[in-house]
Amino acid sequence: MVDMLKTRQCLLGVRTFLGVTSRLWSCFLYILRKHIRTIIQYQTVRYDILPFLYFCSDTVKRKILVLDLDETLIHSHHDGVLRPTVRPGTPPDFVLKVVIDKHPVRFFVHKRPHVDFFLEVVSQWYELVVFTASMEIYGSAVADKLDNNKGILKRRYYRQHCTLDSGSYIKDLSVVHDDLSSIVILDNSPGAYRSHPDNAIPIKSWFSDPSDTALLNLLPMLDALR
């Protein structure tokens, strides 16, 4: 009887030890993934930024670069998603808590690699405008985080500014500016800009690839277009 009690206590101790070890290992892996992801995404990048030529800087107005959010600059998923496209355990860049239809919802937001550097550079070339088909309460919160109090994403348009056609939201660029020759839109969804295909720069949808360089690859072209 004494031996059985000792055996049970021993097994209980082993289970407790394994449980604690498992939690510590999970915590270690979470922190390690976060640091590796940060190193990969925000490695030092250099791009030489040249100003406008002195003789045209006062006469040429800045063009407008319209930016989509979801799957273009960021990717997010919210509470209750059964199959998130992001690998489980990948830490989000930030978490948003918004109230939709009187229900609190948490969004776990992942920034596309190099998005901060991209915005910093193109904000010196273009007037930046956010145009998302998402609800304003969510889109505004995401834009605030990306802007980070820099004042580069002041103009914003949301779902209510889109045109609903056959179940999809179309972005009418004429609501941004009446001179369409001065507008370029960066969006991962061709359906969103189908009214203005000549103004669009397509970009591959992004969900979780930490080695993605699509935003960096666009800088030379956007530099030339400005």
Q: Do residues 139 and 130 touch, judged by C-beta distance below 8 A?
A: yes
Residue 89: its pLDDT value, please? 76
pLDDT for position 3: 57
Query: What pLDDT does 29 receive?
Result: 63
On whether both 65 and 172 belong to a single domain, the answer is yes
Q: Are residues 37 and 128 in the same domain?
A: no
The percent of the chain in helix, strand and coil, each rounded to the nearest 5, is 40, 20, 40
Within this chain, do residues 27 and 66 fall inside the same structural domain, yes or no?
Answer: no
**Tokens standing for residue 16:** 């407790």
Looking at residue 151, its amino acid is G
The amino acid at 158? Y
- Pair (66, 17) in one structural domain: no
What integer pLDDT is reported at residue 55 of this predicted model?
47
Give this prediction's pTM.
Answer: 0.78
Does some domain include residue 116?
A: yes
- Residues with catalytic function: 68, 70
Note the pLDDT tens digit of each residue in 43-87.
Answer: 556 667 666 554 455 567 899 999 999 999 999 998 877 667 887
pLDDT of residue 45: 63
In a domain, 21, yes or no: yes
Residue 54, pLDDT score: 46
Backbone angle region of 16, left / alpha / beta, with phi > 0 → left and psi within -120 to 50 → alpha: alpha
**What count of other Cβ atoms lies within 10 Å of the Cβ of residue 120?**
15
Residues 131 and 220 in one domain: yes
- Look at residue 79 in the predicted model and tell me its pLDDT: 81
Mean pLDDT per 10-residue section of the chain, whose length is 226 residues: 62 69 67 61 62 56 96 92 75 94 93 97 97 97 98 97 92 95 97 95 95 96 94
pLDDT for the residue 23: 73
Does a structural domain hold residue 85?
Answer: no
Whether residues 20 and 119 fall in one domain? no
Residue 54 placed within a domain: no
Distance CA 87, CA 85 (A): 6
* Together in a domain, 125 and 215: yes
Residue 9 in any domain: the answer is yes
Query: How many domains does the chain contain in total?
Result: 2
DSSP 70: B
Q: Which amino acid type is present at position 117?
A: F
